Amino acid sequence: MIRRMAKLLGGSLAGQLVAFGAAFVLARIYGPEAYAHLEMFALVTGIGAVLGTGKFEQALMLPKSEKDALGLLWAGQRFVWATVFLVAVVGIGSAHWVADTWSLPSWHWIAWSLPVFTGLAAHARLLEYWHHRQSQVGHVAVAKASGPFLSELTKWGSAGWFPLMGLSLGSGAGIAMRWAIMRRGLNSVCQAASPWGRSPSRAAIQVYQDYPTWVLLGSTMNRLAQWLHVLLIGATLGPLMLGWMGMARRMVMLPLSLLATSAAPVLFKSAMDRADGAPLQRLFFQAFIGFGLVATLVGLAVFLAPDETTAWLFGAPWRGAIDVLRILAPWFVLNFISAGLGSMFHRVRKTKWIAALDAIHLLAVGLGWFLGTLHPEWFGGGEWGALQGIVWAKCGYYVLNLGVLVKAVIQHQDEDR
């Protein structure tokens, strides 16, 4: 497990070092408004990548038979094509309304690229889990390193031509690069599970029908809760605040999320290889401590940073971003721990628990925004009450999520006794 995780973390770290270094240049040639466009682009492609597989990628690790796994891959690829069609209809059809409501003047051009990039992101996610099933993490590590490199290079090269949409186009180029590397060497596999042919194993789809139903429902609510703040804050506080949040996400949350998503499949594979009871519980708490230590170090670094940090790093337009980052930091680090450990819910087969928690998450974000907007004095007062309300709600949810996960792992041990 350690060797595979080291490879994945190495790939993620290489990619993030490129993105982190490029941020100092890009923030001086793009303004907060361009980052607001990027946040909306990331919302669509991020949700589409996770939901566009029907959640069959998480089930890919479970069957013992290769034929059954191909059946699940077939179903996942069909979901990808359905997602492309849906994004084309909804994304392009609503483009002008989104541009007017969120003050994003170049959005109607970006919308035409959404079906392609969303489909590639979803398919890459599906293929990533296939590689993990085969314990072949080399392609995954290279994709995680190469995607950010092309992405940042494209953003830099597009700045003069597309001052508002260059960041989004660069992000799309990185998605395409990751997909191309994930797809390499899998021609025979993708053809055997071609969505235009017959399923290699319809029985497998029936066995794991919780994934396109309960798990997909839960993930839908989870993704909406993860990204709802972009819609709410963008509409309430405008593109400047949304751009500051985009920079905070890029500098802190995105690297943490990539570390978590790189480690999660390896943790899940290791958990599947561990016997129920004490061995599984020991692995879980070791991982919990590891994620917790990383989260603590990141949180301390943010809160101890000088007030002029973002202005000094990125220029005067970003002076207020450090205050936003300090508000967001507790949410970011708790999300990191929860995302890294979340696959354990699938190991102990608590898929309905996931759906219930995701429903709570979505309700909490909406309630936090509503209370923060209506009663900003409850959250320290000021014009950022809506943002602070969302952060308090998210932190409460993640604490609940982790508590329920600990209970699920311990109960699973008790059941085995």
State residue 417's pLDDT score.
39
CB 248, CB 330: distance < 8 Å: no
From first CA to last CA, the distance across the chain in angstroms is 27
pLDDT above 90 as % of the chain: 31
Greater confidence (103 vs 9) lies with 103
Question: Quick check: 10 pLDDT over 50?
Answer: yes
Question: Quick check: 310 pLDDT over 90?
Answer: no
State residue 137's pLDDT score.
73
Report the length, in residues, of the chain: 417
Annotated domain spans of the chain: 1-206, 210-417
CA pseudo-torsion sign 225, 228, 230, 234: negative
Whole-angstrom distance, CA of residue 375 vs CA of residue 368:
10
State residue 91's pLDDT score.
92
Closest CA to 5 of 178, 262, 256: 262
Segment 287-303 mean pLDDT: 92
Amino acid in position 108:
H
State residue 105's pLDDT score.
92
Phi-psi region of 275 (alpha: psi -120 to 50; beta: other; left: phi over 0): beta
Q: Which alpha helices (H) appear in 184-251, and where do they start and end?
A: 187-192, 202-207, 216-248
416 — pLDDT class (breaks 50, 70, 90): very low
pLDDT tens-place string over residues 184-235: 888 888 888 888 888 888 888 888 887 888 788 878 887 888 788 888 888 7
Whole-angstrom distance, CA of residue 239 vs CA of residue 215:
33
Query: Which residue has 């190991």 as its token pair?
Result: 347
Closest CA to 249 of 172, 167, 179: 167
Let me know the angle formed at the C-alpha of 78 by 355 and 89, rounded to the nearest 5 degrees.
85
Segment 35-50 mean pLDDT: 91
Segment 291-311 mean pLDDT: 89
State residue 381's pLDDT score.
65
- The residues near 377 (Cβ < 8 Å, ≥ 6 apart) are 385
Whole-angstrom distance, CA of residue 349 vs CA of residue 59:
11
Whole-angstrom distance, CA of residue 374 vs CA of residue 230:
18
pLDDT tens-place string over residues 319-332: 778 888 898 999 99
CB 382, CB 376: distance < 8 Å: yes
State residue 384's pLDDT score.
77
Whole-angstrom distance, CA of residue 63 vs CA of residue 204:
8
Q: What is the 3-state secondary structure (H, E, C) of 325-386?
A: HHHHHHHHHHHHHHHHHCCHHHHCCCHHHHHHHHHHHHHHHHHHHHHHHHCHHHHCCCCCHH
- Looking at 9-18, 39-48, 361-370, which range is the least confident one? 9-18
Segment 143-155 mean pLDDT: 87
Closest CA to 206 of 335, 330, 68: 68
Query: Which residue has 């669509």 as its token pair?
Result: 44
